[in-house]
Structures are given as C-alpha cells and as structure tokens.
Amino acid sequence: MNVNAVTGDAPVWEASMDFSGRTVLLTGGAGGLGIDIALAFADAGARVIALDIRDDRGADLLSRAVGTTGEVLYEHVDLSQLDALPGELDRIVSAHGPVDILINNAAIYPARPFDEYTVEDYRAVQAVNVDAHVQCMLSLAPGMRARGWGRIINVASITFYGGWDKLFPYVASKGALVGLTRAWARELGPFGITVNAIAPGAFPTDAEKIHPDPEGYARFVLEHQSLKRRGSPRDIAGTMMFLASDYSAFITGQTLNVDGGWVMK
C-alpha cells in the first residue's frame, strides 16, 4: 500500500496476500515453526531465504518447497558467530537481492534450574536469540528504509509473561525482543517500515522435547488454552503473513499472542 507523501493519506485499498516480488529472510528457517513459515510465504509467491545450521532439515525444507509458487533458498548460517554474521548477510544480499521482510525466528532454549546456569550460558542464549537479530536488522533495515517499505517480525514468547521456570535466559531474550520491537517501530515507522512481534504459545515442535512428560505437558497446555486443540505451525505462519502484508499496514510496535487464548494481554 503506497502512501500519499504530501497528505499522509493511504490511497484506494490495494492489500493482498500475494507476496510475488517480495524477498523474505527467515532465521531458524529449518526449525519446527520455520519450515511452515517458509512454505507459506513461498506458496504466496515470495522468495524465502531460510537461514539455519541443520542442513538435513534444510534439505527437507527444499524438497517440500518444490512446486510452490515462489522460491525457497537455504543458507547455512551460524547465528552464534556474530563477528562473521555481517559478512554473511552482505553475501546473501549480493547474491539474492534486497530483503523486504525480515523474520527473526531463530532461538535456542536450554532448560535447567537458574543456579545451574553460568553467565557464559546466559550470554550464549542472548547471542543467538537477541544479538544476531539485532545484527540482521542493522544489516537489512537500511535497504528497506531506502525503498520506503519493509516488514520486521520478531518471534517472542508467552513465557515472557511469567510462570515458566528453568528458562530464565530464554525468557530474558524474548523480553528483549518485545522491547526492541517497540524501539525499532518508533524509529523506522517514518520510513514505511513496520515492526511487530508474535508471541507463540505452546506448539508441538522440537522445543517441547525438553519436557520429561510430553503427554502430561500436552494436557497442561489444553487446560490453559481457551481453544481446546494444539496449535499448528501454520497458525503462526498465517499470522506472519498478515503482519507482512498491507492488511496490517497501520499496525506497528505491537506484540500479538498466538496461543489459543492462553495469555490474554
């Protein structure tokens, strides 16, 4: 949706869920949520550049992307290697063109009692879950600003609202993403860039393998959700597409819970 530069008024409604001609950079693109997000955008015509370090999962993503309307590319990029990340991002942009939509999805989530973590453990989580995504924004947002359009979507978590033990570095990292969402939205809004966050609830992905009693945990989830079914990664993907489209062009700085009505804030 283009905006009248003089009046600030939006023209006749033009929004759609067609992402043809758009390039998405997705961190954690071969993960439990990432694969479905990548395929959803590719089905809608986008070029998706999926970053991950799990090459077997990347190969699975590429095989599943065959026949989509758009295109999925896989890049082995280790987000924990912060010194190398700017160069990797420059290389990707040089090879594949400018990025229109940045989805900061990658995360690590060790689980143990708080006094069993070291400061180094804490910093390792922040490096992947926060610092790498700050670098992605710093590398890619200037191009969005120059073109006068962009979407940045951060993946937070409902754990930020409290009530989860053994995850304090992870919870802290997700709180940081909520704060960054608000700060970036304020600064980048004048350039036609929206910045929002999604806070997923409990989804049956690899992240749940940290729980010793999967069936008991599934019962716990359904007891707390208003909707009595488990969420699907496609539920996250659909919300991502909404926030990346011009249907949400007047929404920025917000965190949207996608959790079946567990946390209502």
Q: What is the DSSP letter of 230?
A: -
Catalytic residue among 74, 117, 170, 247: 170
SS (H, E, C) 96-134: HCCCCEEEECCCCCCCCCHHHCCHHHHHHHHHHHHHHHH
Residue 254, number of CB atoms within 10 A of its CB = 16
21-58 per-residue burial string, b: 16 or more CB within 10 A, e: under 16: ebbbbbbbbbbbbbbbbbbbbbbbbbbbbbbbebeebb
Asked if 122 is an active-site residue, the reply is no
The 47-52 sheet, strands edge to edge: 71-76, 47-52, 23-27, 101-104, 150-155, 193-200, 255-258
Do residues 151 and 250 touch, judged by C-beta distance below 8 A?
Answer: no
**Distance in angstroms (rounded) separating the CA atoms of residues 222 and 218:** 6
What is the distance between the alpha carbons of residues 251 and 181, in angstroms, rounded to a whole number?
A: 12
Half-sphere exposure of 156 (CA within 13 A, CB side): 28
Nearest-Å Rg of the Cα atoms of the chain is 18
Q: Say which residue the tokens 């082995």 belong to.
A: 76
Closest CA to 233 of 207, 212, 262: 207
* Count of C-beta atoms within a 10 Å radius of residue 166: 15
The residues carrying an active-site annotation are 170
